[in-house]
Structure 1
Amino acid sequence: MSKYAVSGLKLTRVHKLTAAGVAAAGAAALVFTAVPGADAGQSKAAAASASLNVKPVAFSAVDTAARAQQATIAQQADASAAQGKAEAAAAKQQAEAAAKAKVEKERQVKEAASRAAVRQAIPAAVQKPAKVYPNNLDGWIRESLDIMGKNNIPGSYDGIYRNLMRESSGNPTAINLWDSNAQAGIPSKGLLQVIDPTFRQYHVSGTSWNIYDPVANITAACNYAAARYGSMDNVNSAY
């Protein structure tokens, strides 16, 4: 029977090799323990070897953590830089938008001022020159008629001409010193022989306050005739 048989069991080749390995390992252990002459230096060397075998594992772990920390810091720095760029870009856009808005506002103000200047210039450009009347009987009557038209005073060229020729023969400085008005101290004066109280009462704004002024005299007389007779055209004698 083989020496590797245990409890009546037959060992295979694998079992035999395994058992032989275990036995050899045990013998080696006994040799290192029991051999006289194995000194403390050998033990220290073994301990140092064991210690050296552990350290790389510890350094490896520290390096991994450091690299992870560095990666995190780098990511944070990249994120901060990206945020800074975004904020700078936003600030630049805001500044550009503000500058454009300022330019646009200035343009609008200039255009508004230009339009206002044009509006002011147009009336001056299209304004008709003041009408000029000749300084004679015809001019006086026509100027008086224009003023009468603006003040809704009725009367015609023929009606005015007919009456002033009868009253003064067309003399703007004529004065009556012999009738009842003259005897009362208020002589009739001017083209249409108006007394001072009547002239002042029926004076038309925009004309002279001089009773001998031809236009003022005609206009005031026609205003009085309109109030009393309806129009100077209805006057055919002393009035």
Structure 2
Amino acid sequence: MLAIKTTAPVTALRRSARVAALAAASAGVAASVLVPHHAHAAEQAETTHAGTAATATTTALPTSPEQVGKDVHAMLVADKSHAKGGDDEGRGAHYKDGKLVPIPHDAQPEPVPASHEDIDRWINKALEVMHKHDIPGTYDGIYRNLMRESSGDPHTINMWDENAQKNIPSKGLLQVIDPTFEQYHVDGTSNDIYDPVANIVAACNYAADRYGSMDNVDQAY
């Protein structure tokens, strides 16, 4: 599949410009704003305007590195809090008014697989949790389905299929939709659907309920 070049929202670029300005001020150098090469022309114009404002603001920033650091931290926390309102960590995902903006199948971003070591660690941790909760499944069954569904990319998100059109896209290592993750989430694991262990355990819990075990799954489920 062809990789799609995604563009950060203008507001996010403006916030990045302010963070860059603050960081530059703490080092005693003039702030500069880098515009991503993949930004559209209209957004480049907006970013340039935001960059100019950020540079102008630099002269009024406190000179204390400690205070600047606090301001940068507060801004990043605010950005993370804002992201929870609509966007998530899906690779290349773009949301509008809280809804995923679907894309053509051939524009789906290529997965970025995790290392074999990370995948091995996640599966073994998931198996520990599954054993405690009597959820069936083996390493081979999980690995086989995980690689088929996501190629080992914990942040992949399907942005083109029927679920994506319904705004409940499949997410993470085992491509779980939010309603399924919420229903089959296992206590003691993260509430983040992109968390590798939580994603694996919830998917295996669902597969056990519907198919008897993840080992019995050999196609999209």
TM-score category, normalised to shorter length: 0.3 to 0.5
Q: TM-score, normalization: structure 2?
A: 0.47
Which protein has the bigger helix share? 1
Q: Which fold has the larger relative contact order, with Cα–Cα distance below 8 Å and residues 6 or more apart in sequence? A: 2
Q: TM-score, normalization: structure 1?
A: 0.44
